[in-house]
Amino acid sequence: MTWHPANITEGCFTNYFISSCQPSFLTFLTFLSQYLGHSRDDKLRSARALDNEYDFIIVGAGSAGCVVANRLTEIKNWKILLLEAGDEQPVVTEIPGLLGVLPDSTIASSYDYLRKGEVCKLSPYQCIITRGKVMGGSSSINAMIYNRGMKRDYDDWEKQGNPGWNWDNVLRYFKKSENLKSKIPAGDATNHGIGGYLSVELREPEKYAESIHNAWKETGLKEVDYNSGENLGTARIQFTLKDGIRQSTNDAFIRPIRGVRSNLTVRTKIQVTKVIIHPKSKRAIGVEYVEPGTKLTKKVFANKEVILSAGTYESPKLLMLSGIGPVDHLNEAGIKVVKNLPVGKNYQDHIGLSPYEFVVNDFQNFNDADKYVEDVKNFMQNKEGSYKMSGGILDNTAYLQTEYETRPGIPDIEMFGLNKVDIVNGVEGNATCAALAYRGYYIMYTTLTRPDSSGWLILNITDPTFSNPIINPNFFSNEKDLKTLVAGMKLWKRVIETESFKKSGLTAVKTPAPACEKFATDDDKYFHCVAKNYVQAFYHPVGTCKMGPSADPEAVVDSRLRVHGIKGLRVIDASIMPAVIRGNTNAPTIMIGEKASDLIKEDWKSSISL
Extract the annotated binding site for FAD. 134, 272
Q: How do beta strands 264-267 and 241-242 pair? A: unpaired
Q: Which residues pair with 112 in a beta bridge?
A: 128
Rg over CA atoms, the chain: 23
| Residue of 264, 266, 327, 310 lying closest to 60 (CA atoms) | 310
Distance in angstroms (rounded) separating the CA atoms of residues 582 and 233: 13
Instruction: State whether residue 586 is helix, strand or coil.
Output: helix
Distance in angstroms (rounded) separating the CA atoms of residues 74 and 77: 9
Q: Decide if 3 contacts 106 (C-beta within 8 A).
A: yes
E strand or H helix at 152, and its extent? helix 151-159
Question: What is the number of other CB atoms lying within 10 angstroms of the CB of residue 242?
Answer: 17
Q: Backbone dihedral region of 131: left (phi > 0), alpha (psi from -120 to 50 degrees) or beta?
A: beta
Angle of helix 586-603 relative to helix 65-72, nearest 10 degrees, comes to: 30
Dump the DSSP string for 276-345.
EE-TTT-BEEEEEEE-TT---EEEEEEEEEEEE-SHHHHHHHHHHHTTEE-HHHHHHHT---SEE--TT-
> Which candidate in 4, 213, 540, 564 is catalytic?
540
Dump the DSSP string for 50-82.
PPSEEEEEEE--STTHHHHHHHHTTSTT--EEE
Q: How do beta strands 80-83 and 264-267 pair? A: parallel
E strand or H helix at 601, and its extent? helix 586-603
SS (H, E, C) 491-552: CHHHHHCCHHHHCCCEEEECCCCHHHCCCCCCCHHHHHHHHHHHCEECCCCECCCCECCCCC
Distance in angstroms (rounded) separating the CA atoms of residues 444 and 15: 19
| Residue of 457, 475, 449 lying closest to 533 (CA atoms) | 475
| Backbone phi, psi, residue 563, to 5° | -65, 130
Q: Decide if 18 contacts 392 (C-beta within 8 A).
A: no
Residue 278 annotated as catalytic: no
List binding-site positions: 134, 272
Distance in angstroms (rounded) separating the CA atoms of residues 238 and 118: 35
Report the catalytic residues. Answer: 540
